Amino acid sequence: MLRNLSLIILLILLPLLGLAQKQKQKVVKSITSKADTYREAALSIWNYAEVGYQETQSSATLQKLLQDEGFAIESGVAEIPTAFVASFGSGEPVIGIMGEFDALPGLSQEAVPERQTLVEGGAGHACGHHLFGVASVAAAIGMKEWLETNEEVGTVRFYGTPAEEGGAGKVYMVRAGLFDDVDVMLHWHPSSVNDASPGTTLANKSGKFRFYGKASHAAFAPERGRSALDAVEAMNYMVNLMREHTTESTRIHYVITRGGEAPNVVPNFAEVYYYIRHSDVAEVKDLWARVVKAAEGAAMGTETRMEVEVIHGIYNVLPNEALAEVLHDNLEVVGGVEYTDEEQAFAEKIAETLGKNSKPLHLAEQILPLEMRTSKASSDVGDVSWAVPTAGLGTATWVPGTSAHSWQAVAAGGMSIGIKGMMVAAKTLALAGIDLFQNPEAIAAAKAEFEERRGPGFTYEALLGDREPPLDYRK
């Protein structure tokens, strides 16, 4: 009797499963049919190479793609001109997808396999955010088409998130409550491999320490001067001594952004820009307080005045294995990146420049196994992941072994290798979103894990406090 019942259930489910697969294949075919549109958009943003909070054309390009597909657009959210939210559908669940689009200063590069600057001193997409934003848009449109065609209930929401590179754009969007009604959040990032493993990052806080002294002739009347540069150097010395007395995973780095105007003038102004990183948000807060004390001591010892401006602060990413499994399963369905002969030749030349970091090129075709990973980098995705269950993946938009923030990443991202990886990400995100729309149990599992990892009584508090978005931090 039970065997007969199981057979009946199976006979009922098989056609439904087949229909679901056909629906997903239709979405993949639709994304593929628009490949030229998405390639053109990505390369336009690659050429714009707009840095954080200045991504006017890049943001407009993404908004236009979504608006043309019937999404409702809300621009200038969270007091950020280039941030926006695009929505389609109604009701629950609400599935969000994030897209970035800012470039990095000083990394301009031609789409060629040797170091060749495109614009002297210009910016470049060395982290692939031109691909990031467009693939996420393509995925959102694919999910929208599925909702529309099948008359399903649910909302797909795209978040245009500017200034990831040091500007913490997402933090201001979290602080503004823009993610409060989202059930799950998906994202991706350009990479040199295909991987949907859950993982975490380092929390990070940054700020500029400004010292004000007294100018004087450095030879004729040095006793009348008080050097702001001396204060910067004293602070740096104390912080470097502090490194011995921090936990092993601590990362502290800085750059002197202003050190004076001329050697024969005692500098009356100097500035140093600091980053503090650690895997634990509480430890970052403690480290930051210690660095501020070093700055205060330096000012006292040099008889200068100190001011500090917090530039950004971001949480570590909170992993979600339940969501990662959904992404991984669909990444395996979509598959990796296969090179043409021309792409293989390009990749081989890039690989020669990577030295000992070079990896076998066939890795671009493979999907890495699902396992927990830890990154030493930081991302403002972290704050989103503490507000809503979040998971992401990486795809091989760069030659295997390539590091982010390198000219090699800009080069591959500006040609067909990058575009192919972008399309893998778009299809994977779209299929994962469809699975989540159809499977409330998966969303429930993601939410249960999320609550367990956050712990009881968690209250979000932005590391950057109540400061306004630093819209001019790249100027």
CATH of the domain at 24: 3.40.630.10
For the stretch 28-34, contacts whose Cβ atoms lie closer than 8 Å and that sit 24 or more positions apart, written own/partner, are 28/142, 28/334, 28/427, 28/430, 28/431, 30/142, 30/145, 31/138, 31/139, 31/141, 31/142, 31/423, 31/426, 31/427, 31/430, 32/423, 32/427, 34/138, 34/141
- Tokens 């104390």 correspond to what residue? 238
Residue 380 has pLDDT above 60, yes or no: yes
Distance of CA 104 to the CA centre of its chain: 12
Q: E strands, 364-433, where?
A: 373-374, 390-396
Per-residue pLDDT, averaged over 381-408, amounts to 98
Helices (H) and strands (E) in the chain, counts: 13, 12
Domain final position from 294, 314, 334: 314
Give me the domain span that covers residue 246: 203-314
Phi/psi at 255 (5° precision): -145, 135
Q: How far apart are CA 249 and CA 213, in angstroms?
A: 35
Say whether pLDDT at 240 is over 60: yes
Instruction: For Cα atoms 437, 441, 442, give the angle at the middle one, nearest 5 degrees.
Output: 70
Residues 282-339 pLDDT 10s: 999 999 999 999 999 999 999 999 999 998 999 999 999 999 999 999 999 999 999 9
Here the tokens at position 96 are: 């969000």
Q: Are residues 118 and 8 in the same domain?
A: yes
Of 423, 415, 444, 316, the C-alpha closest to 375 is: 316
22 and 93: one domain? yes
Q: Which among 399, 379, 409, 425 has a CA at the least distance from the CA of 128? A: 409
Band the pLDDT of 142: cuts 50, 70, 90. Answer: very high
- Looking up tokens 């407009």, which residue turns up? 60
Both 306 and 289 in a single domain?
A: yes
Structure token digits, residue 80: 């950020």
Q: Taking residues 50-69, what's their average pLDDT?
A: 98
How does pLDDT run across 151-199, given as a tens digit for each residue?
Answer: 999 999 999 999 999 899 999 999 999 999 999 999 999 999 999 999 9
| Tally of structural domains, the chain | 2
Confidence of residue 12 (pLDDT cuts 50, 70, 90): very low
Which among 255, 279, 314 is the end of a domain? 314
Q: Are residues 86 and 115 in the same domain?
A: yes
Name residues whose C-beta falls within 8 Å of residue 88's C-beta, 6 or more positions apart in sequence.
Answer: 69, 70, 71, 72, 140, 144, 147, 155, 156, 157
Number of other residues whose CB lies within 10 A of the CB of residue 216 = 17
Query: What span, in angstroms and rounded, lies between the C-alpha atoms of 211 and 208?
Result: 10
Q: Tell me what pLDDT residue 21 has.
A: 84
Residue 29 lies in a domain: yes
Res. 410 pLDDT band, cuts 50 70 90: very high
Judge residue 110's burial from the number of C-beta atoms within 10 Å of its C-beta, 0-12 exposed, 13-18 middle, 19 or more buried: middle
Global pTM?
A: 0.91
- Of 324, 400, 391, the C-alpha closest to 365 is 400
Residue with the larger pLDDT of the pair 459 and 10: 459
- Do residue 279 and residue 342 come from a single domain? no
Q: Is there a single domain that holds both residue 221 and residue 274?
A: yes
Helical (H) or strand (E) element with 89: strand 84-90
